[in-house]
């Protein structure tokens, strides 16, 4: 006996079907991540294309976020990436004096190889997407609960 609602499409929960649906996003993510790592070694510091490895790295998470469909996870992913972007932005405008030795080298690497705008933009998009998703989920839950209480 099925627990499915009348008129709803049949649910196919077979492991083979779930694996085949997850295969394409997983492969896309993996390809983007590998390409990101390769390009990080190819692109020179300070180049106009220095943002590309970070962009590919972050874009590699998007197919998995779509697959998982968890608003809170997408929101947190966007929030943390946006915070990293703002950290990189602040780092650009900080005085050189506090940084010495290896810390100065690390700062230069972060400034020349990691664009703050890549992290901010590719953080704000999932931040908004996750927020909208959570608001929609919450409103659906409230409406279902109100309908259930009105039937009683």
Residue 13: pLDDT band (50, 70, 90) is low
Give residue-wise pLDDT tens across range 55-80: 999 999 999 999 999 999 999 999 99
Q: pLDDT at position 2, please?
A: 45
Q: pLDDT at position 94, please?
A: 94
Residue 14: pLDDT band (50, 70, 90) is confident
Give residue-wise pLDDT tens across range 130-140: 999 999 999 99
Distance CA 54, CA 60 (A): 10
- Please, are residues 55 and 118 in contact by the beta-carbon 8 Å criterion? yes
Q: pLDDT at position 17, please?
A: 73
**For the ranges 56-60, 76-80, 82-86, 145-149, which has the lowest average pLDDT?**
145-149
- Please, are residues 148 and 110 in contact by the beta-carbon 8 Å criterion? no
Check whether 82 has a pLDDT greater than 60.
yes
Give residue-wise pLDDT tens across range 18-41: 777 889 999 999 999 999 999 999
DSSP assignment letter at 43: S
């Amino acid at each position: 006996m099925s627990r499915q609602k009348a008129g709803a499409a049949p649910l196919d929960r077979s492991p083979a079907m779930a694996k085949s649906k997850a295969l394409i996003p997983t492969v896309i993510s993996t390809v983007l991540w590998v390409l990101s790592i390769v390009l990080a070694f190819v692109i020179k510091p300070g180049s106009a294309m220095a943002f590309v490895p970070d962009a590919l790295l972050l874009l590699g998470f998007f197919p998995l976020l779509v697959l998982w469909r968890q608003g809170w996870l997408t929101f947190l992913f966007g929030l943390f990436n946006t915070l990293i972007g703002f950290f990189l932005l602040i780092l650009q405008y900080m005085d050189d004096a506090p940084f010495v030795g290896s810390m100065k080298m690390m700062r230069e690497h972060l400034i020349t190889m990691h664009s703050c705008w890549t992290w901010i933009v590719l953080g704000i998009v999932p931040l908004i997407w996750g927020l909208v998703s959570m608001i929609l989920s919450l409103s659906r839950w409230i409406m279902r609960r109100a309908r259930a209480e009105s039937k009683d």
